[in-house]
Structure 1
C-alpha cells in the first residue's frame, strides 16, 4: 500500500543514495595509503534529483524525463580533484570525514522523512 506513495519512494531513494555515498567514502578511506589511488565521490541526492549533477538518473518507466525506457543506470561516481600526495594518492582523510558526516545527515534526513510520512499516514487512518 505505502510503496505506491511518492514520498516513501523518495525517502527510500534518499536512503539508498546515502548508502552508496557512504560505501564510496569508506572505500576512499580504506585506500588512503594505496599508491596512485584516486579518491571518488558521488554527488549529493539533492543535486542528482534536481538534475544539476553531471549525470542523469535511470529511467524506470515510460514518461520519465530525459531518457529512454531501459536505459541503464549511470555510474554517479566521479574522481575528486585535489593535490595528490607524493605517492600519487589523492585521498584526504579530513575531506572524507566531512563527507561521512554529510552522508550521515542525508541518511538521517531520509529516515526522518519516512517516519514523519508514516505518522501522517497513521493519523489519517485514525491510528496512533
Structure 2
C-alpha cells in the first residue's frame, strides 16, 4: 500500500543511498593504509534518484513479473574519488572520509524524519 506513495519511495531511496554510501566510506577507512588503494564514493542521491526515475516506465510489481526488469539498487555506482595520492599511491584522506560519514548520517536522519512525519500525517488522516 505505502509503496505507491512517492514520499515513502523517496525516503526509502534516500535511506538506501545513505546506507550504500556509508558502506563505501567504511571500506575506504579500512583501506587507509593499503598501498595503491583508490578511494571511492557513490554518486549523489539526486543523480541516482533521477537516474532511477528516468529508467523505463515499466516497473516490476512482484518477483517474476517483467523478468527483464533490473533490481532497484543497480543504479548506484561507485566512482573513484579525486583526492591526491600519498607517496604509497593511496588516495584515502581520513579527514575527508570523516566529513563524508557525518554527511551520510545527516542524510539518513533526514530520511527517517521524512518517513516518520509522513507516517504521522497518514495516521492522522486515517483518524488513528
Match of 1:101 in 2: 102
Q: 1:60 to 1:20 in 2, by over 3 A?
A: farther
| Structure 1 position 91, deviation (Å) | 0.1
Match of 2:69 in 1: 70
Structure 1 runs of 4+ aligned residues shifted over 4 Å read: none
Residues paired across the two proteins, number: 117
Match of 1:66 in 2: none
| Structure 1 position 3, deviation (Å) | 2.4
Bigger relative contact order, structure 1 or 2, given CA contacts below 8 A and separation 6+? 2
Match of 1:9 in 2: 9
| Structure 1 stretches lacking a partner, 5+ long | 51-55, 64-68
| Structure 1 position 29, deviation (Å) | 0.2
| Structure 1 position 71, deviation (Å) | 5.0
In 2, distance between residues paired with 1:30 and 1:110?
A: 26
Q: 1:5 to 1:43 in 2, by over 3 A?
A: same
| Structure 1 position 46, deviation (Å) | 2.3
- 8 Å Cα contact 2:32-2:94 kept in structure 1: yes
In 2, distance between residues paired with 1:57 and 1:41?
A: 18
| Structure 2 stretches lacking a partner, 5+ long | 60-67
Q: 1:109 to 1:6 in 2, by over 3 A?
A: same
In 2, distance between residues paired with 1:13 and 1:3?
A: 11
| Structure 1 position 82, deviation (Å) | 1.7
Q: TM-score, normalised by structure 2?
A: 0.82
Q: TM-score, normalised by structure 1?
A: 0.82
| Structure 1 position 28, deviation (Å) | 0.2
